[in-house]
Amino acid sequence: MKALHANGQIYEASEIRSGSALKSGPWFCPGDGCEVRFKFHRAASYAAGDAERVARQATFVHSDEREHSSECPFNAKAERQRLLNEHASTLIRRGETLLLMYGAGSEPAKPSTPVEPRPAGAVREQYAAVMSTALDIARVVDRIGEPALESHWVRHQGINYTWREFSYGPDAQDLSRLTPSVRGQVTAKTWPRLVRAVVHNGGSLNSSESWVMARMTAVDTLPGNKAVKFWVFARPNTDAGSLLLTFMAEQTYALLGEWWDFMTRTEEASLTIEQTSQVSRLA
Ligand SMILES: [Zn+2]
């Protein structure tokens, strides 16, 4: 998230190092002609539940009573309305919250219900619509920070997920939440996630040629040069497998899927994809 410093320069919150004289600001909304004041919050971690600590990235927060101008791209209310207009088929409004509908049926399947085969075309279309909506929300969350982070949820097969539970990356601090979330998931392997990351090892076949795989990483590293990585798998001789084979180092992708596991040896998270619409090239 960015803010305008009184010195006339716009900074990304992650650029402000501890001890920097810039920290105290004053900071303003970077929207053209907008007078809202911002305050800098450094990166921190806080306890969430018994064992886990959650890292929060450095960010700016709205710190006065002023409202963003109606044309300001940091106006959360105006952005919510725009998202709702542009993604009417995937978004539902619940009070101040937008719910992204993902996964057939909004109620959890009963254990006794037989699993219906899904027509591939419908799945493809649905991934495409959810991907497009999710990326648009992610851009708004990147820009606006906390107010947008709290007002977007995902509903997948009757279960609601916060935006933090659903969306990961591309920076190391955010992506480092991915593997703990996969290890901690209660319902086996079917927790929907959107992950943005950079290709570290391009797509290739494993030695038995039973899987195409690519290794992904964050755009930066954690303190101490520690890299954060995860894997993507697809079956060879499928459209998803062919697409994964074209992944080349340093390209950035968004990946959407619910079939997550982790590698026994490295303990890194892994995603299996079946549809090309689960993949979107970002840069
Ligand atoms: Zn503003």
Q: Which amino acid does the sequence have at 216?
A: M
What SS3 string covers 171-209? CHHHHCCHHHHHHCCCCCCEEEEEEEEEEEEEEEECCCC
pLDDT at position 104: 60
| Residue 135 alpha carbon to ligand 1 centre in Å | 22
Query: Where does the pLDDT of residue 178 fall: very low under 50, low under 70, confident under 90, or very high at 90 and above?
Result: very high
Q: Which two tokens stand for residue 54?
A: 């959650």
Residue 236: is the preceding peptide bond cis (ω within 30°)?
no
Binning pLDDT at 50, 70 and 90, where does residue 145 land? confident
One-letter amino acid at 8 equals G
Average predicted confidence (pLDDT) for the chain = 88
Alpha carbon of 85 to ligand 1 centroid (Å) = 21
- Ligand 1 (ion): residues with CB under 5 Å are 29, 31, 34, 36, 68, 72, 74
- Banded model confidence at residue 137, pLDDT cuts 50, 70, 90: very high
Of 16, 36, 62, the one marking the end of a domain is 62
**Distance from C-alpha of 238 to C-alpha of 38, rounded to nearest angstrom:** 49
Neighbours of 224 (CB within 10 A): 5
116 touches 105 (CB < 8 A): no
Q: Is the dihedral of CA 218, 221, 222, 225 positive or negative?
A: positive
The answer to whether residues 147 and 257 belong to one domain is yes
What distances in angstroms separate CA 254 from CA 101, 153, 197, one per listed residue? 18, 18, 7
0.85 exceeded by pTM: no
**Number of CB atoms found within 10 A of residue 193's CB:** 24
Report the separation in Å between the CA atom of 220 and the middle of ligand 1, taken as the mean of its atom positions. 28
Average pLDDT, integer, range 168-182: 93
For 222, other C-beta atoms within 10 Å of its C-beta total 15
Same domain as 96, residue 221: yes
Is the backbone of residue 147 left (phi > 0), alpha (psi -120 to 50) or beta? alpha
Give yes or no: residues 221 and 180 share one domain: yes
| Bridge partners (DSSP) listed for residue 2 | 12
Question: Residue 145 falls within a domain, yes or no?
Answer: yes
- CA 120 to CA 108: how far, in whole Å? 21
Q: How far is the CA of 29 from the centre of ligand 1 (A)?
A: 5
Residues 169 and 208 occupy one common structural domain: yes
Q: How far is the CA of 23 from the centre of ligand 1 (A)?
A: 19
Domain membership of residue 274 (yes or no) is: yes
State mean pLDDT over 155-167: 92
- The larger pLDDT score, comparing residue 195 to residue 142, is at 195
- Looking at the fold, whether 58 and 81 belong to one and the same domain comes out as no
Cα 222 from Cα 69, distance rounded (Å): 36
pLDDT of residue 54: 67
d(CA 131, CA 140): 14
Report if residue 117 sits inside a domain.
Answer: yes
For residue 182, pLDDT over 70 is answered with yes
Same domain, 179 and 227: yes
What mean pLDDT comes out for the span 246-257?
A: 97
Q: Is 263 helix (H, G, I), strand (E, B) or coil?
A: coil
Instruction: Judge if 56 and 169 occupy the same domain.
Output: no
pLDDT band, residue 44 (cuts 50/70/90): confident
- 175 and 197 inside one domain: yes
* Residue 68 within any structural domain of the chain: no
Least confident of 99-113, 148-162, 199-213: 99-113
Confidence of residue 128 (pLDDT cuts 50, 70, 90): very high
Residues 240, 164: one domain?
A: yes
Q: Are residues 92 and 206 in the same domain?
A: yes
Same domain for 242 and 122, yes or no, is: yes
47 and 117 share a domain? Answer: no
How do residues 53-89 score in pLDDT, each as one tens digit? 666 778 898 888 888 988 899 998 899 999 999 999 9
Q: How close is the Cα of 16 to the center of ligand 1, in Å?
A: 20
Cα 199–202–203 angle (5° rounding)? 120
Query: Could you tell me the distance, in angstroms and rounded to a whole number, from the CA of residue 19 to the centre of ligand 1?
Result: 27
Q: What pLDDT band is residue 134 in, cutting at 50, 70 and 90? A: very high
Q: How many angstroms does the Cα of residue 164 sit away from the middle of ligand 1?
A: 23
- Give residue 262's pLDDT band: very low, low, confident or very high (50, 70, 90): confident
Tell me the CA–centroid distance for residue 210 and ligand 1, in Å. 51
Question: Is residue 71 in some structural domain?
Answer: no
Overall number of domains in the chain: 2
Q: Give me the domain span that covers residue 215.
A: 76-282
Judge whether residue 15 has pLDDT over 60: yes
The answer to whether residue 70 sits within a structural domain is no
- Look-up: residue for tokens 């982070």? 149
Does 113 map to a domain? Answer: yes
Is 69 part of a structural domain of the chain?
A: no
Q: Which of 62, 94, 114 is the last residue of a domain?
A: 62
Q: In the prediction, which pLDDT does 20 show? A: 87
What is the domain-level CATH number for residue 275? 2.40.50.140
